[in-house]
A and B are shown apart, each in its own frame.
Chain A
Amino acid sequence: MAETSLGRDEAPGQGVRAQETPAAAGKADEEAFNELRSLLVGPERRELRALEAHVNDAALRTREVGRILPEALSVRAHDPQLASALAPSVESAITASVQRDPHPLADALFPVMGPAIRRAIEHMFASMMESFSRTVEQSVSWRALRWRLTAWRTGRPFAEIVLLNTLEYRVEQVFLIHAETGLLLQHVSASSGQAQDADQISAMLTAIRDFVHDSFNVSGREGLDGFRVGNLSVTVEHGPYAILAGVVRGTPPPDLRMTFRRAIESIHLLLGPELKDFQGDAAPFERARATLEACLAKKLRERPSTSYRRWLAVAALILVALGAWSFTIVRERQRWSAYLDRLAAEPGIVVISSGRRAGKFVVTGLKDPHADDPAALIGPSRLNPAKIEAHWQPYDAIEPPFIVRRASALLRPPPGVTLEYREGALRASGPAPERWLIDSERIAPAIAGVNRFEYAGVPAREQLKRRVESVAILFAKGRSELMPEQLTRVTGAAALIAQLSEALAVNGSTARIEVRGHTDSDGSELENGPLSQARADAVVRVLSATVSDSITLVARGLGVEEPVTTGTSEAEKVLNRRVSLRVLLTPDQTSPGSRP
């Protein structure tokens, strides 16, 4: 209620007058009260009005908030709540700005982006040049050949293999250094001996960093990425509160920096508050030890002397192999020519051409079928038969041994008979059956190189003639009929005559056979003459049935003439009662039997 009445605007003098009359007194009371009220709360009321006006004046409020906003923001600058509250607006503001016109933002960011991009490019370029120069350096070496093989086998790029193999280095020590004080937070070393002065080295590294930073007016927090003295280099990675410095012997690979980068980031993640509030107690940073130890990478190189020795060994091997190879070649050639000489000397073999083709020795020529096997001659030459290719055409050699061999193969001389060749004549010696002699005489001139056949013994027709003439066919006293037991003698004679006619047929000569009848001394001349003729006729009748045209049979009765014996006993008389045969060969110049 009071507030409602306070809300009314009344003059301050009214309350004083209300005390004068009852009616007026009530009014006066009211006036007095109002006056008192205005006296008591007047200033507040005015302030309230002013505040009300103020609150309703949007433009004024905006101005005021604008005045305090920067201060308000700076008061809560480190409040993560503020950051997360502002983040969406800032993001959409940037997006909107870029959408509207990207240039202002690009211009503003240019001084920041430029160095960052430049640094990234320089980094990339430096490592590229490094790997390129290594590649060139290694591209013709023995190792490079092996790496190319590895690259081919594993399907990875050659450059990658080169990088993997040439980066010889060892991270010997890693320092975790508090950025502001240069105090050592943690230290790991590949070898245990160098730990005691790490805190001084840590401070000195920081001093050097500061020195470079100051001396060359480097802007920004970071200054020294690392430095290098001869084979030793120090790689430095900066974080907001700590620095990671690695002492590297040899050439560090480009990705070592990434390893360091990740390590310093993970240390900041793990120990952010401890780093920020570091007061000299390094104990909490024992937890970073494992991360630092992971940075102690190394890559060992093969000793150059070993590769030098390997080179020598390879060269020696090649030399030995070359020597052995050329020795083998020379020896093979010598053996080959020796073999060719042997072939040329071999009767019945004629070498026409020789040479090498597709790693094989090739020989072509003529070979008598009766010559020795050329392959059998390879053995003594110690050549590999598989490496020899021979092409032989058959031919007849006319050297005497081959003629003899050929004749032997064809005529098959019986045991005891030997063949020899002299000036066109094939000459057989030794006891030979008529049958074979007859065949040989006929066949031999058909053999290459043989003009005629000679026999060193008695010729076949002579032998036959003698055997035919030794036949005697006996008769009974006073009789001219063939006795049955004498018929076998007649047929034996007929067989001999058939052989003789065959022997004659070889050169077409002929013979005359006289069939002569005889009687004993008993009886008269008149009786014995016709009896002997009758006996001869009887034999001719049997023989003529089988005799050939080259033989002429003549029957003659000789009576008592030309007895086998002149005795008069009955036993002797029996032998004279007979028919004998006489062969008359027609003289023939070409017949072998014609020459003694």
Chain B
Amino acid sequence: MIQKKICLLGGFGVGKTSLVSRYVHSIFSDKYLTTVGVKIDKKSVTLDGTDVDLVIWDIYGQDDYQKVRMSYLRGASGYLLVADGTRRSTLDTALALHDSAQATVPNASFTLVINKADLADQWEIEDSLLFVLVQRGWRVLKTSAKTGSDVEDAFVTLARAMTQP
């Protein structure tokens, strides 16, 4: 069995916490996010018959008042960048966080997750923009924490990227 540390990064209110809450096991309450700035969850996935335990550091979302503590990223093998598909600015925040994260953990794998795919009518992020990122080699997924579509995929994708040699 392999353990990996991954982080959830994203702007405030992008639904990081709700994205994972239904699919992970956690013994800590959400108030840790606002106090310590991080909450630990756990998610087990199976890749080609190998169990991988993902220890998820759900890092409190960046907003105007609080910066993400990049030291929480130390030792992470990968991270999920989460943006809110209905707010264009959250993608910019995610891209900015990605730059910071690369400085801290340059070898970490990552996956961009655009959340709230269920709210298609309020969508602000054009697919063309995402296509540019995919062409750059990014893994991009649209998910919905509400319907659960592709959430499992997001973790599996990231885990696969991390465990590939």
The answer to whether A199 and B53 have CB atoms under 8 Å apart is: yes
State whether the Cβ of B106 lies closer than 8 Å to any Cβ in chain A: no
- The 8 A CB mask of B8-33 against A (1 = contact, 0 = none) is 00000000000000000111100010
1/0 per position for B95-108, CB-CB distance to A under 8 A?
Answer: 00000000000000
Are the C-beta atoms of A204 and B40 separated by less than 8 Å?
Answer: yes
Contact with A along B71-87 (1 / 0, CB 8 A): 11011110000000000
Q: Are B5's CB and A200's CB within 8 A? A: no
- Say yes or no: A199 contacts B27, CB within 8 Å: no
Q: Nearest-CB distance from B140 to chain A (Å)? A: 25
Asked whether A203 and B55 contact (CB < 8 A) given A181-B76, A182-B5, A280-B4, the answer is yes
With A200-B42, A280-B4 as known contacts, state yes or no: A182 contacts B55, CB within 8 Å: yes
Q: Is B88 interfacial (CB 8 A cutoff)?
A: no
Q: How many of B's residues come within 8 Å of A, CB to CB?
A: 27
Query: Which of B4, B38, B41, B71 contacts A213, CB < 8 Å?
Result: B71
- In the complex, which residue of chain A has the Cβ closest to the Cβ of B38? A207
Q: Tell me whether A211 and B36 are in contact (CB under 8 A).
A: yes
CB contacts under 8 Å to B, within A201-247, are 201, 203-204, 207-208, 210-211, 213-214
CB-based contact B28/A199 at 8 Å? no
Query: Is B132 part of the contact surface with A, judged by Cβ < 8 Å?
Result: no
Contact A203 B53 (CB under 8 A): no
Is there an interface contact between B74 and A207, defined as CB atoms closer than 8 Å? no
Check if A204 sits within 8 Å of B28, measured CB to CB: yes
Q: Residue A281 contacts which of B2, B26, B38 (CB distance < 8 angstroms)? A: B2
Residues in B with CB closer than 8 Å to A179 are: 75
Residue among B37, B57, B75 making CB contact with A178, cutoff 8 Å: B75
Decide: B57 and A208 in contact? CB cutoff 8 A: no
Q: Known contacts A210-B71, A214-B69, A280-B77; is A203 also within 8 Å of B37 by CB?
A: no
Distance, CA A207 to CA B28, complexed state (A): 13
Partner of B55, one of A183, A211, A214, A279: A183
Which residues on A sit within 8 Å (CB–CB) of B1?
Answer: 281-283
Nearest residue (CB) in A for B56 is A203
Q: Are A199 and B36 in contact (CB under 8 A)?
A: no
The answer to whether residues A280 and B3 also contact, given A197-B27, A203-B55 and a CB cut-off of 8 A, is: yes
Residues of A within 8 A of B36 (CB): 207-208, 211
**Distance between Cα atoms of A183 and B76 in the complex (Å):** 10
Tell me how many residues of A have a C-beta within 8 Å of chain B.
24
Interface 1/0 per residue, B38-60 and A, CB below 8 Å: 10111000000000110101000
Hey, which chain B residues are within 8 Å of A199, CB to CB? Answer: 3, 42, 53, 55
Q: Could you tell me the distance between the alpha carbons of A214 and B41 in the complex, rounded to whole angstroms?
A: 22
Q: Which residues of chain B are within 8 angstroms of A176 by Cβ–Cβ distance?
A: none
CA distance A207 to B59 in the complex (A): 10
The reply to whether A200 and B53 contact each other, CB–CB distance below 8 Å, is no
Chain A residues with Cβ below 8 Å from B72 are 207, 210
Q: Does A481 contact B (CB under 8 A)?
A: no
Measured between C-beta atoms, what is the minimum distance from B73 to chain A in Å? 10
CB of A378 closer than 8 Å to a CB of B: no
Nearest B residue to A185 via CB reads B3
The answer for the CA separation of A270 and B37 in the assembled complex, in Å, is 35
Assess whether A207 is in contact with B40, with CB atoms less than 8 Å apart: yes
Which of A181, A203, A283 gathers the greatest number of chain B CB atoms within 10 Å? A203
Contact A180 B26, beta carbon cutoff 8 Å: no
User: Roughly how many angstroms separate A181 CA and B72 CA in the complex, as a whole number?
Assistant: 9
A536 at the interface (CB under 8 A from B): no
Q: Which residue in chain B gives the minimum CB-CB distance to A205?
A: B40
Q: Does B3 lie within 8 Å of A183, measured CB to CB?
A: yes
Given contacts A182-B55, A200-B41, contact A282 B75 (CB under 8 A): no
Shortest C-beta distance, B117 to chain A (Å), equals 28
Q: Are B55 and A210 in contact (CB under 8 A)?
A: no
Known A-B contacts A199-B53, A200-B27; A211 and B38 likewise in contact (beta carbons under 8 Å): yes
A207 to B38 alpha-carbon distance, docked (Å): 7
Q: Which residue of B lies closest to A212 (CB)?
A: B36
Q: Residues of B contacting A197 with CB < 8 Å?
A: 27, 42
Contact A200 B3 (CB under 8 A): no
Does chain B have a CB within 8 A of A184? yes
Nearest chain B residue, comparing its CB with the CB of A178: B75
Q: How far is the CB of A219 from chain B (nearest CB, A)?
A: 14
Contacts of A200 in B (CB 8 A): 25-28, 40-42, 55
Q: Could you say which residues of chain A place their CB within 8 Å of the CB of B40? A: 200, 203-204, 207
B69 pairs with A282, CB closer than 8 A:
no
Whole-angstrom distance between the alpha carbons of A183 and B37 in the complex? 18
- Distance, CA A203 to CA B36, complexed state (A): 13
Q: Assess whether A184 is in contact with B3, with CB atoms less than 8 Å apart.
A: yes
Q: Which B residues are CB-close (under 8 A) to A280? A: 2-4, 52, 77
- Chain A nearest Cβ from B163, distance in angstroms: 8
A281–B77 Cα distance when bound, in Å, is 13
Query: Which chain B residue shows the least CB distance to A181?
Result: B75
Over the window 270-288 of chain A, the binary record of Cβ atoms lying under 8 Å from chain B Cβ atoms (1 yes, 0 no) is 0000000001111100000
- Chain B proximity mask over A164-207: 1 for CB below 8 Å, otherwise 0: 00000000000000111111100000000000010111011001
What chain A residues lie within 8 Å of B69 (beta carbons)? Answer: 210-211, 214
| In the bound complex, CA of A181 to CA of B7 (Å) | 11
The answer on a CB contact under 8 Å between A183 and B71 is no
In the complex, what residue of chain B is closest to A279 when comparing beta carbons? B2
Tell me the minimal C-beta distance from A590 to chain B in angstroms.
132
**Alpha-carbon separation in the docked complex, A281 to B50 (Å):** 12
Which residues of the partner chain B approach A183 to less than 8 Å between Cβ atoms? 3-5, 55, 75
Given A207-B40, A280-B4, A214-B71 contact (CB < 8 Å): yes
* Chain B residues near A213 (CB-CB < 8 A): 71
Across-interface contacts of A204 in B (CB, < 8 A): 28, 32, 40
Nearest-CB residue, chain A, relative to B27: A197
**Docked CA distance A183–B3 (Å):** 7
Q: Closest A-chain residue to B70, C-beta based?
A: A214
| Distance from B39 Cβ to chain A, minimum over Cβ atoms (Å) | 8
A218 and B27 CA atoms in complex are apart in Å by 29
Nearest chain A CB to B78 CB, angstrom units: 11
Provide the residues of chain B in CB contact with A181, threshold 8 Å.
Answer: 5, 74-77
**Which residue numbers of B lie inside 8 Å of A, CB to CB?**
1-5, 25-28, 32, 36-38, 40-42, 52-53, 55, 57, 69, 71-72, 74-77
Known: A180-B74, A280-B3, A280-B52. 10 other contacts (CB 8 A): A179-B75, A181-B5, A197-B42, A199-B3, A199-B53, A200-B28, A200-B42, A203-B5, A207-B57, A213-B71
10 intermolecular pairs with C-beta atoms under 8 Å apart: A181-B75, A183-B3, A199-B55, A200-B41, A207-B40, A210-B69, A210-B72, A210-B74, A280-B77, A282-B3
Interface, chain A (partner B; CB < 8 A):
178-184, 197, 199-201, 203-204, 207-208, 210-211, 213-214, 279-283
